[in-house]
Structure 1
Amino acid sequence: MDTAWTWELSGYCAKYSFLTEPKGLNMREVERIFQLDPEPPVHENLNDYIIKAVQRRELRWFSFFLHHYENRLNGRIRRFLLREGLDRYDPERFLDYKMGCVLAMLDCLRGYDPAQGADFLTYAHHFIGNALLTCRMQEEAGSFENVDEYKAVRGIAWLYNQSGQSEQATIQKYAQKNGCTEETAVRFLALVKQNRSRVPFYQTVQDEDSEETGEDVSRDDHWDYAEILWNGIQAEAVREAFEKLNYREQTLLEKRNAICMTCGRVSPISTRLTFEELAVLFEGSTASGAERAYRKAVEHLACLLTEARVLHMIRLKRKSQTKRKKKIAAAVYLYQVDNDGEWGEISFDFEAGTAEIIRLAEWDTTVSKKFAKQAIYHLQTSPNHNLPKDGIMIFEI
């Protein structure tokens, strides 16, 4: 690649480097950071923008590509953060991951040859996955030499949890499967233990290179029971709260979230029971009845954990709304902190993307207003056609 093209790529990176500095951006801004106004020329194939960028040595075509690809990129980042048990609505974190992916694509652009017949996204897919893993690696408690070592550590952590075997059996199985020595496998497993004992590694899809892994990563609620249990919250407090539930509630939570509260093992999410299967488990129930019972069990456990000061809870209740063209243009929501005290009130203008705190809820912080801000982020990032009438939000203290 010629020097001029290299310098232009460097200049493009510098142009957007300001985005990595915290500027008080909200999620709406972060998710639309590459949207152009006026809109760029329309091509049927996304790859046409990349081909023109390469042929003409003009990165404005890469900007046009990002404009149209941004929604898909946002989706891939959200799915990754969801599988990792991370906050998908933290603008600064989301932007860090997003810029990592964009820089990876710029690196791929240097070596992309359209004549080879592969689409750019096919060529760059593996590198985008590595960029996400690199960002995740930098947030870990442990220290890793590079992303390849990090992948290896994740792999043996996943195997150790899934197999349910002893450490020695896991080490032998990993060494045989990956063609490495047992000494190397021992070192990787030691890194797992040094990093943390309860790991979202274990819930992560092993095939990081595939965007479509076949795993159902959707969640029934904005709070996932297994994710909360193994993502830093005191496991003992969760167990104590769990024991206060009745048998039906305990069974619904364990079977639906594919987790055993006795041993703490988290099974692949694909093994969880459907609501139809849960209805069969409890004779006389329907799928919709099982779903309602599950949601009540989630809420009951959340209330118990809130009382134990392990979690924070925000209750939401829609007071009024204004619709235009079948979309909610504006709404007023009431919110309550930790299931207690007077309700606060927040007014939203979804068309303008703004929100105003009319009245703080009792127990909300008067300076940082952290509970109201959590509610605002949640509602502003929800699909406009699917805004909740009521519900609860759960997050760690």
Structure 2
Amino acid sequence: MKVLVLGAGQLARMMSLAGAPLNISISAYDVNSDAIVHPLTQQQLGTGLTKAIADADVVTAEFEHIPLPVLALCQASGKFFPGETAIKAGGDRRLEKQLLDSAGVRSAAYHIVNNEADFKQAIQQLGLPLVFKSALAGYDGKGQWRLKQPEQAAALWQDIAAFLATDQQQAIVAEQFIPFQRELSLIGARNAKGQLQVYPVTENHHVNGVLSVSLAVAGNESLQQQAQQMFSAVANQLNYVGVLAIEFFEVDGQLLVNEIAPRVHNSGHWTQQGADVCQFEQHLRAVCGLPLGSTALVRPSLMVNILGEDTVPQPILALPGLHLHWYGKTKRAGRKMGHINVSAADTAQLKQRFLQLIALLPESAFPELTQMAQRLN
């Protein structure tokens, strides 16, 4: 079976690695260059989206910010999963909020801001503190502003107004600031028959708005049930096919949806070593009409992102339960270059191995890891 992935980054790369044992061939479409490339070697295989769609059995995506003409062409083929509606919702916070409302899923109270009057109304209606997020093209903490004090409002509006002036399609979603205890996520899959499989709830730690560590351990039954109910509501509302990620805030034992990602997700990379069927294979199974696989946690696992570094100390490879995954990228500050997965027989052993890893990694390149290690008791 042939699958065309919109996007030629690390997620397409890992789909290709996961698909090979199932005889699923992956090609990737670079939306910026119109080139069809091999996701592992980046060798150019051709150009032109129309022919690539015709040659593929299934079309899917590794990211949300896809030009609308590309989405429309893929949707018209009848081969595109999870589909245009889901991808648009993942790439536009306005549509995302509408989706969550329609699905009856809790999220932060919000107000759409298109002009100064909307800005003032958001402050009056929602109160302070507020978080303002760009409706389009916001990711990894980019395109966000915080308003804590009334006297900061005028200056903040000038920044937002200048941002809005750069793109007539852009808008701002103002949200109540959520004083959360933890950031969590749930990765799951739904197939065309409506069958669902979800992985364990994952705890995430961010540094400067970018995911640093994801931790998957057993024992969050109450949160797992809440997250599964919300996942089911959103996936069914979209008639979703594929892997879907939902990010949550935990507030006093209750979950609020932060955002959705209609694709395989950074916080699910631990599934490569912590589950029988990883999220990349699971996505391919769903979109290709194959049976969904087990999502059970086989062993406690965690993932550490490698950001802006193209080397790591070689001694880490001697650590038991450690797997290193590079993305084949050129080094750039802050860029996601790879990740490290660590697994163990139980939580105590996972903490021990994580601390051994932390001791070998330079703190300047891997800050705040000990904060997550302290979560392992």
TM-score by length of 1: 0.24
| Greater RCO (CA < 8 Å, at least 6 residues apart) | 2
TM-score by length of 2: 0.24
Which structure has the greater CA radius of gyration? 1
**Higher relative strand content:** 2
**Higher relative helix content:** 1
